[in-house]
A = this chain, B = another copy of it.
Amino acid sequence: MIVVMRQGVGAEQVQAVQNLVTSWGLKPHVSAGAQRTLIGLIGDEAQMNAESLAMLPGVERVMAVHKPYKRVSAEFQPERTVVKIPPVRHGDRGLTIGGPGVVVMAGPCSVESREMLLALGAFLKGAGAHILRGGAFKPRTSPYAFQGLGVEGVRYLVEERSVVGMPVVTEVMDTRDVEMLAEFADVLQVGARNMQNFNLLKALGRCQKPVMLKRGLANTLEELLMSAEYVMSEGNEQVILCERGIRTFEKFTRNTLDLSAVPVLKRESHLPVVVDPSHGVGHWDLVAPMARAAIAAGADGVMIEVHPDPTQAVSDGPQSLTPQRFKELMGSLELVARAVGRNLV
Q: Which residues of A contact B (CB under 8 A)?
A: 2, 4, 7, 20, 29, 31, 33-36, 38, 40, 42-43, 46, 49, 51-52, 54-56, 63, 65-66, 68, 75, 139-144, 147, 173-176, 193-194, 196-199, 202, 216-218, 220-223, 226, 229-230, 233-234, 246-253, 256-260, 262-264, 267-268, 280-281, 285-286, 289-290, 292-298, 310-318, 332, 335-336, 338-340
Q: Is the interface of A mostly helix, strand, loop or mixed?
A: mixed
Cβ-defined contact, A143 with B233, below 8 A: yes
Copies of this chain, count: 4
CA distance A295 to B292 in the complex (A): 9
Contacts of A332 in B (CB 8 A): 339-340
**Which of chain B's residues have a CB closer than 8 A to the CB of A147?**
198
Cα of A280 to Cα of B35 in the assembled complex, Å: 32
Residue contact B29 to A31, C-beta cutoff 8 Å: yes
Can you name 8 A-B pairs with beta carbons within 8 Å?
A141-B223, A143-B226, A220-B252, A252-B268, A264-B286, A293-B293, A296-B336, A338-B339
A286-B314 contact given A217-B218, A336-B296, CB 8 Å threshold: no
> Residue A293 contacts which of B175, B229, B297, B318 (CB distance < 8 angstroms)?
B297
Q: A31-B31, A260-B281 are in contact. Are A317 and B248 (CB under 8 A)?
A: no
List B contacts of A42 (CB < 8 A). 31, 33-34
Chain B residues whose CB sits within 8 angstroms of the CB of A340 once the complex forms: 292, 332, 335-336
A318 and B65 within 8 A (CB): no
Q: Across the interface, do A199 and B173 meet the contact criterion of CB distance under 8 Å?
A: yes
Does the CB pair A260–B267 fall under 8 Å? no
Neighbouring B residues of A216 by C-beta, 8 Å: 218
Does B313 contact A139, Cβ atoms closer than 8 Å? no
**Residues of chain B lying within 8 A (CB to CB) of residue A46:** 144
Q: Tell me whether A249 and B249 are in contact (CB under 8 A).
A: yes
**Cα of A301 to Cα of B178 in the assembled complex, Å:** 38
Q: Determine if A296 and B298 form an interchain contact, defined as CB atoms under 8 angstroms apart.
A: no
A4 to B40, CA, bound (A): 11
Q: Quick check: A314 and B173 within 8 Å, CB to CB? A: no
What are the residues of chain B within 8 A of A140 when measuring CB–CB? 198
A73 shortest CB reach to chain B, Å: 10
Measured CA separation A75–B35 after assembly (Å): 12
Residue of B nearest to A139 (CB): B198
Bound-state CA distance A47–B56 (Å) is 32
Say yes or no: B298 contacts A196, CB within 8 Å.
Answer: no
B36 and A31 within 8 A (CB): no
The answer to whether A285 and B259 touch across the interface, beta carbons within 8 angstroms, is: no
Given contacts A34-B42, A40-B38, A230-B143, contact A52 B256 (CB under 8 A): no
Closest partner residue, chain B, to A53 (CB atom):
B311
Q: How far is the CB of A283 from chain B (nearest CB, A)?
A: 9
